[in-house]
Structure 1
Amino acid sequence: MEINKRLLIQISKKLLEQISICLGALLFFTFYFGITISNLAPAFTFGIFLLPVTMGMVNVFSFYLIPEYLYKQKYFLFALYTIYTLIISFFFIALSSFYGFIFINSLDTIDKGFMMSKNLYLIIIGVYLIVLLTSLFSAYRESYKIHLRNQELQYELVNGELQLKQDELSYLKMQIHPHFLFNTLNTIYGSAIAKSNETPELILKLSNLLDYILYQTKKSVVPLQDEVDHLKDYLDLEKLRHVEKLKIDATFPQQLTGELIAPMLLLPLLENSFKHGKSQANEAFVELRIEVGEGNINFFLKNTFEKTDHKESLESSGIGLQNIQKRLDLLYPNAHLFTFEKVKGYFVVNLQIQTNQPKSV
């Protein structure tokens, strides 16, 4: 039922369009051929004879030749079929004019001066002028429809890409959170087994970190100070865990002036350094340095790593590095520098990002 209703509406629109063109053509013929006479009746009558061939040409050009050949850039075929159409139409215009003149001449009430003032070339020009104007209007209307469709498709494409980026970022964050939580809970578990008096403090710091992860990471950006504060909390957790086996050299900005950063970019890097930098036999070393200036945030991280990890590729050193790289590509395109390498027993990470980013996704 709904399909039939839509079909009926489309047919009604097409019919109304054809009627409008017919009335417009008749009105044009009436004034075009009757401009030099006082009685417009013969001009109107003559226009009726020219109407079939005129409407035929209008439909051929507007609904076939232009959309099927001109819009599809088949210029040779369009030119060829246009020539064929003009030749055939010339014959039908002449035929319609001949019978139109005979009919008007048979009417005693019609002024015979109309006959003498018209010639075939003037008639052809009048018909072709209507076809040209109608075809131009049809071409403009179709071009406008194509423009609107392209805008709509472009809008849908942009929205689709935006949704994909949002979904990918959410997926990357979901990977980071369980990983980080698992390692921190292991720290608290070890402290509880040892019946350490530091366990309550560990739980409190973990609570702060979870609050940051669960709520602050839903934002597109957070103050850099928040990320730094939670880096300090994480360092305190690791200090309490490793005690004398851990040496940390951390340098943070003395004063921050409202710089913004995407949440959970720096914390996973630090977590990754402890995951692969711990050592049971030797003292673990972590050097962390954050600098802010000239529109950039510079993050430097250096840590020892297990000898057993030496044969591992850089890409296999935790999901954190891979996820950070993907998030940087999405959030800071062409506005970041991220490198990591193993040099002389140390794993070194350098990250530089522009503070006027990230992109809103």
Structure 2
Amino acid sequence: MDLLKFNQTKLFASHCLLWIGVWFFYMYFFSYNTNNTLYVTWFSSILLPLTMLTTYATVYYLIPKFLLQKRYWLFGLYSVYVVIFTAFLVTVTMIGSFIFISNLNVEDTPMMSRNLVFILILIYLVVGLVSFIHILNHNFNTLTQNKALENKILDTQLHIKEQELSYLKKQIHPHFLFNSLNTIYGFALKQSAQTPEIILKLSNLLDYILYQVSEKQVSFQQELDHIEEYISLEQIRFQDTLDVIINKDEIEKNCSIPPMLFIPFVENAFKHGNILNGKLKIRIDFEVSDSRLNFRIENSTITENIENHQNGIGLENIKKRLDLLFPNRYELKTTQFKNRFVAALKIDLHE
């Protein structure tokens, strides 16, 4: 409320200064080649409200109602009406000043005050200057409002994307926990001595999920440790029927990536992979630098199961998440071979 009052006071003061300046402007011009200060003062004082009326009619009616609405024909028409009305009032002012101030003595009237066209030029010089400032200020305010609205829209879109990304992350957790709990359940039924070890490994994985997955970026080494922990958990379940190779030679350890980026690929490899010739074979290749990430995972599968592998919910979620995290900066290819399925991901890490 105080700010509103301050702005209103500031606006009123600026208008007062404007018209005081215009009054001195008229005094200066009409004083040319005359010593009749009384006439000049009265004539300038009478002309000032006429100028104010013309200016406010143009700035607060003609411009917003017609010019800014792109109704140019009506703007031109009503502008002509305003000019005619202003010319009539100026003529009345000239005649009245000549009669009542100079007492019908032409020699006592300043030369500049006898020319209707010159007076109209002076008035519309003020009108034009004020109108230009008004339009400039209007455009600036419009740009500011549009920018604020654009920022608000971007913030809303970002919030929606963050919510969608959070939703996609949460979809990973139930699938992962379902697989892990099934493994623990199976070993518990057998009363296996490995059950406590499996629970401990699951505890480590849950610790990573609960405390790291909410972060926007984690170190690549943390993500790699998480994958290896997951694979070691699956190794207990598959025993001698699992053959996993992880190639991680070309890795820049200081690289940062979004958490849980690769685990859906690994989960899919176990979920849709098949044991062939006594082994479920999985090969994972990492190549990570400061600006480029190359990831490739290959698993053995029967040919009939490849279509399910490609159209799984997990792969769709992966694509949606990549679209949110790396728009137009990633390439994901899935290739099917005889009894093999390969997923290759390339990401430009620089925005």
Is 1:330 aligned with 2:314? no
Distance 1:54 1:293, change over 3 A: closer
Deviation at 1:285, TM superposition (A): 2.5
TM-score by length of 2: 0.87
Cα distance in 2 for residues equivalent to 1:154 and 1:117:
52
Secondary structure of the residue that 2:50 maps to in structure 1?
Answer: helix
Distance 1:147 1:201, change over 3 A: same
Measure, in 1, the Cα distance between the counterparts of 2:116 and 2:306: 94
Q: Which residue of 2 aligns with 1:163?
A: 159
1:135 matched residue in structure 2: 131
**2: distance between equivalents of 1:158 and 1:13?**
34
Conserved 8 A contact 2:284-2:298: yes
Cα deviation 1:334-358 (Å, max 9, x = unaligned): 221112243323332111112335x
Counterparts in 2 of 1:250 and 1:11: CA distance versus 1, 3 Å: closer
Q: Quick one: which of 93, 97, 101 aligns to 2:94? A: 97
Distance in 1 of aligned mates of 2:95 and 2:251: 95
Checking the alignment, whether the CA contact within 8 Å between 2:251 and 2:287 is kept in structure 1 is no
Give the Cα separation in 1 of the matches to 2:9 and 2:38.
30
Q: Aligned equivalents of 1:249 and 1:159: distance in 2?
A: 43
Q: Distance in 1 between matches of 2:145 and 2:317?
A: 37
CA distance in 2, matches of 1:80, 1:263: 66
- Contact in 1 for aligned 2:218/2:256 (Cα 8 Å): yes
For residue 109 of structure 2, what is the aligned residue in structure 1?
Answer: 114
Paired residue for 2:60?
63
Alignment of 1:1-361 (within 5 A): 21-106=18-103, 112-118=107-113, 119-253=115-249, 256-278=252-274, 283-293=279-289, 295-305=291-301, 309=305, 312=308, 314-315=310-311, 317-318=312-313, 320-356=314-350
CA RMSD of aligned residues (A): 3.1
Using the TM superposition, give the Cα deviation of residue 28 of structure 1 relative to its aligned residue in structure 2, in angstroms: 2.6
Contact 2:33–2:110 (8 Å) recurs in 1: no
Q: d(CA) in 2 for partners of 1:152 and 1:280?
A: 60
Letter in 2 for 1:83: V
Q: Using a 3 Å threshold, how does the CA distance of structure 1 residues 44 and 142 change in structure 2: closer, same or farther? A: farther
Tell me whether 279-288 or 201-210 shows the greater mean CA deviation.
279-288
1:271 deviates by 0.9
> 1:137 deviation in Å?
1.9
Distance across 1 between alignment mates of 2:325 and 2:48 = 63
Residue 309 of structure 1: CA displacement? 4.1
Identity level (%): 36
Structure-2 change in CA distance of 1:21 and 1:34 (3 Å): same
Kept in 2, the 8 Å contact 1:31–1:43? The answer is no
Where do 5+ consecutive residues of structure 1 fail to align?
none
Pairwise CA distance, 1:79: 3.3
1:293 offset after TM fit, Å? Answer: 4.6
Deviation (angstroms), 1:236:
0.9
> In structure 1, how many angstroms separate the alpha carbons of the residues matched to 2:28 and 2:104?
20
The total of aligned residue pairs comes to 350
> Structure 1 254/337 Cα, relative in aligned 2: closer, same or farther at 3 Å?
closer
SS of aligned partner of 1:301: strand
Tell me if the contact between 2:165 and 2:321 (Cα under 8 Å) persists in the aligned partners.
Answer: yes
Unaligned ranges ≥5, structure 2: none
Q: Which letter maps to 1:324?
A: I
- For 2:181 and 2:197, locate their aligned partners in 1 and report how far apart those are by CA, in whole Å: 13
Following superposition, the deviation at residue 156 of structure 1 comes to: 1.3
* Residues 247 and 284 in structure 1, CA contact (< 8 A), matched pair in contact too: yes
Aligned-partner residue type, residue 349 of structure 1? A
Tell me: CA distance 1:14–1:197, structure 2 relative to 1, closer, same or farther (3 Å): same
**Residues in 1 aligned to 2:278 and 2:104: alpha-carbon distance in whole angstroms:** 119
Partner SS for 2:213: helix
Residue pair 1:295, 1:354 contacting (<8 A) in 2 also: yes
Counterpart residue type for residue 219 of structure 1: E
In structure 2, give the amino acid aligned to 1:138: H
Matched letter for residue 68 of structure 2: Y
Task: Mark the CA change 1:306 to 1:84 in structure 2 (over 3 Å): closer, same or farther.
Answer: farther
- Map Cα deviations across residues 95-116 of structure 1 (whole Å, 9 max, x no partner): 23222322212499xx953344
Q: Any conservation in 2 of the 1:32–1:126 contact (CA below 8 Å)?
A: no
TM (normalized to structure 1)?
0.85
Aligned-residue offset at 1:60: 2.0
